[in-house]
Amino acid sequence: MNAWKVILATVLGFVCGIVCLLLAKSGGNPVAPAMAWAIILNRALIGFVIGISAWKIHFIPHGLLIGVFVSLSPGLAALATMGYNIFLGTLLMGAIYGLVINLVVSLVFQKKKEAAV
């Protein structure tokens, strides 16, 4: 496991969490502090899981699936409290953020691998 990969993926996840929080607030609805932290930390967790993953599949399904799996828990909580649309939005955005995080990490570490050769 590459520590720099884990750090980069987690930081990217944290940044995606802030973006996600800003998007959630843009609708004019207030976001409770606990929900704000849950959004940020869930996206950071997506990055962390991508960083530690040893799953040997193509980066596109890798990022999408990890994003959906990690977002499933808050998605189910959203389904129980806020409805079906928020549930689907949570899973969809988790998949998108997972893909973006994995794409950036794959590009950075592919370049490092090429430079080392």
Judged against a pLDDT cut of 70, whether residue 114 lies above it is answered with: no
> How long is the chain?
117
Higher pLDDT, 36 or 28: 36
How many whole angstroms from its chain centre is CA 24?
Answer: 15
Tens-place pLDDT, residues 77-107: 888 988 899 899 999 999 999 999 999 999 9
Across the chain, what does the average pLDDT equal? Answer: 91
Q: What is the predicted pLDDT for the residue at 117?
A: 60
d(CA 95, CA 70): 9
Instruction: Give the CB-side neighbour count of residue 11, counting CA atoms within 13 A.
Output: 8
- Residue 40, token pair as written in the block: 């940020």
d(CA 59, CA 37): 27
Judged against a pLDDT cut of 90, whether residue 66 lies above it is answered with: yes
Residues in Cβ contact with 26 at an 8 Å cutoff, skipping those fewer than 6 apart: none
Residue ranges of domains in the chain = 3-116
d(CA 35, CA 41): 10
d(CA 72, CA 30): 23
